[in-house]
Amino acid sequence: EEFMLLANRRVALFISEKVPSAALLRRHPPPHRRKIEGLVKMTDKMNLSIDVSSSGAIHESLERIRSEVDASTFYAVVLLATKPMQTAMYFCTGAPAYQEQSSKWRHYALAFDHYTHFTSPIRRYADVVVHRLLVDILAREGEGKKKTKGSKKGKVFESTGKGGQGPWGAKFTEELIDQCDHCNKQKLAAKAVQDSSIKIYLALWLQKESYETEAVILDLNGPKWMGVFVPEFGMEFVLYWREERRFKARWDSTSKKMNVCALESTKENEPLLRLENFQTVRVSLVSAFDKRSCANEITAKLVI
């Protein structure tokens, strides 16, 4: 993996230096500030500290937290840490939003100033485009060296040079911008299909029989529902209190806790459970999959 990253990084630097306004690179913006601040607040409530000053600091914090909590809680924290992250995307260095603004080219997660996809042309079209760019640059550079009798310094090629004198021209840059947009859309679509297919398969499997497993409460902020994360599947599910017929749920707005009581209980009775965020509970996953419409809903029910 280290060699793969090194190759991608080196090729990105090379093509962006040779063709500053027509290189296909991959950028990863910094996380959303408001969401990353929310992550710090949530981990503080768990009595865990996380340094969000950089991607490296986050990684080091997660490695430390791994040794401080149980596996289920750790995976929940990892999920919380990924939510503020933005999506990485392909871009053309000659696009108006990025031209001569190399500070926007940075890949946050990898902490690289220049990065692209070069090593997997058999499964990604972006890599094919990068290969073609690299081959053409090397060919033109080779021709230039022959003309200058083996000059050691490579030539810088501008696709949008003055008077359209670059080797490809302004139209190439425009088409490359469109290709980057298309690659980004297709990658998001592929990810959506992958996630949906996994959920549909799980829903069909759960139709035969419900499944009991461990979950971590991640979203308990009101009387209507509760969000839980199931480490076994790496997925989040929702528990709707109105659908529970085995017990009563009373929301305590002061303590931000949910008191789960027996149906015949009164306010004076002790609750069966007091639930709060980041608590580990047992849930039963139930599927309501509709084969005709492919409507897929998997809900969680609390196991007491």
pLDDT for residue 148: 56
Banded model confidence at residue 265, pLDDT cuts 50, 70, 90: low
Banded model confidence at residue 31, pLDDT cuts 50, 70, 90: very high
pLDDT for residue 144: 60
pLDDT at 141 over 90: no
Banded model confidence at residue 99, pLDDT cuts 50, 70, 90: confident
Q: How far is CA 286 from CA 18, 64, 194, 205, 291, in A?
A: 56, 35, 21, 10, 15
The answer to pTM > 0.85 is no
pLDDT for residue 131: 96
Q: Pick from 230, 228, 254, 255: which is nearest to 241 by CA?
A: 228
pLDDT at 33 over 70: yes
Query: What are the structure tokens assigned to 199, written together?
Result: 């959920």
Query: What is the overall mean pLDDT for the chain?
Result: 86
Which of 141 and 168 is assigned the larger pLDDT?
141
pLDDT at 73 over 80: yes
Banded model confidence at residue 62, pLDDT cuts 50, 70, 90: very high
Parallel/antiparallel/unpaired status of strands 211-219 and 225-230: antiparallel
Least confident piece of the model among 1-10, 123-132, 160-169: 160-169
pLDDT at 161 over 50: no
Q: How far is CA 100 from CA 21, 161, 210, 285, in A?
A: 8, 14, 56, 52
